[in-house]
Amino acid sequence: MMALRFAHHRLGRMAVVSVGLLLLAALAGCVVEETRPLPKVHAVQAKEEIPSDELLDVGVRIFDPGIPPEVENDEQAQQKVGIYPDVRRAEARYMAMLLRNTLESTAQWGAVRVIPATADFVDVIVTGKIVKSTGKELELLITVRDSTGRTWYSDKKYESEADLGSYLSDAALKARDPFQNLYSTMANDMLAFRNTLPVADRRIVRRVTEMRFAEDLAPQAYAGYVVKNADGRYELQRLPADGDPVFERVEKIRERDGALIDTVSDYYGGFAEHLSEPYGNWRRYSYDEISKEEKLKAQARTRMIMGAAAVLGSILVSSQCPGGDSNCQRVESAVRTAGTIGGIAGIMSGLKKSADAKIHTAAITELATSFQTEVAPQVVEVEGRTLKLTGTAEDQYREWREMLKQMYFEETGGVAPTSIAAGTPSTTTPR
């Protein structure tokens, strides 16, 4: 009798374990992760007007889209990693413009523009790379340098999940980008570094930008005004005399260059505005699909593991019945059968969840494909010249720079400056 009671006790424990496993599998599909809107990060605004000779101009280059070479022309690889080249290239422009808009809104800087990759003569240049971008997560690497060659910071990581408050309605999505916190944080980090620079250093940055532009435009006339030291930093050696007519012509040409960059930046602004609604909706729907896909994959994985455990437990657990006890063996057989059937049901349920997840993966791909139709190449007319602002904007800007040099020689006849003011940054006050 004692042996029979002990066997029944062990069988009861086994039954409880099997049922418990199945309950865990079922409950795993019912867990709902609570998500809330993120606290807002705001870019620091200027509280008073900053003197013009201290305002640093900022150029934000189109971000590196971060497309792995093996993914570029492989649709299956694109679907596997969730990187769609046309979408990424559009994001690279769109995100650069969002950072530009954030910086400009603070009134902490001079002219803030999105610039071609070949535009080098700007006080501060920001470059970025997209590491990860979905409707749910964004990760960027940002580098900031000034025209003296000083690196403010390099490959600084910025990452965040989407602010779900922006996905609540069309109006909310239009009012605030779901990753605006990242752009505000970038702007605040840039401001914090700029504020570590003495006023004199900021003025020198502006003069180095001017003289590097002049040397590139007319190297024979302005070579030696700025030199690169052993650390790769540009140092100001001397300045043109006040009222120098040749340098005044250079400054006028620089204004034309700035006007063209403004036109390029305005184009990117129009591109971002045109893209805002379809891209915002794409990210919102992608977020929903990604969330559903991740939930279903987790459910599938849990159910299949638990199902397999139940089946193996039913098959591999050794008999607990004493020999010749037919009643105990019948109960044990029933428990094993129930565990096996339940485990197989769990596995089948997991396979179904996995199939459902693939449906959502296909939906993400379809959303990406439909979004790519919004990324058609566009052109802009600048002073009678056509710039194709897709992959060839840098080439077009390079042609424009050559034309500027030709304009300089036509206006000056190749004449070198008639007078210079000798000195160094320590003896010559930057204007």
Does residue 103 sit within a domain?
A: yes
Lowest mean pLDDT of 96-110, 320-334, 374-388, name the range.
Answer: 374-388
Does residue 246 sit within a domain?
A: no
pLDDT bracket for residue 75 (50, 70, 90): confident
Does residue 221 sit within a domain?
A: no
Domain that residue 171 falls in:
1-27+51-216+254-417
DSSP for 218-265 reads -HHHHTTSEEE-TTS-EEE--EEPTT-HHHHHHHHHHHHHHHHHHHHH
Could you tell me if 119 and 139 are in contact, meaning their C-beta atoms sit under 8 angstroms apart? Answer: no
Question: 44: Cβ–Cβ under 8 A, 6 or more apart, which residues?
Answer: 106, 108, 187, 188, 191
Predicted local confidence at residue 67, as pLDDT: 93
Does residue 40 sit within a domain?
A: no
Q: Indicate if the pLDDT at residue 275 is higher than 80.
A: no
Does residue 227 sit within a domain?
A: no
Q: Indicate if the pLDDT at residue 121 is higher than 90.
A: yes
Does residue 318 sit within a domain?
A: yes
DSSP for 28-65 reads HTT------PPPP--PPPPSSPPPGGGPPPEEEEPPB-
Residue 167 one-letter amino acid: Y
Number of domains observed in the structure of the chain: 1
**What tens digit of pLDDT does each residue of 160-211 get?**
999 988 888 889 888 999 999 999 999 999 999 999 999 999 999 999 999 9
Residue 301 one-letter amino acid: R
Does residue 428 sit within a domain?
A: no
Does residue 331 sit within a domain?
A: yes
Tracing tokens 């010249």 back to the chain, one arrives at 385
The stretch 259-273 carries a mean pLDDT of 81
Q: Indicate if the pLDDT at residue 375 is higher than 50.
A: no
Q: Indicate if the pLDDT at residue 252 is higher than 50.
A: yes
Predicted local confidence at residue 183, as pLDDT: 97
228 strand-pairing partners? 234
118: part of which helix (H) or strand (E)?
Answer: none
Tracing tokens 């413009």 back to the chain, one arrives at 97
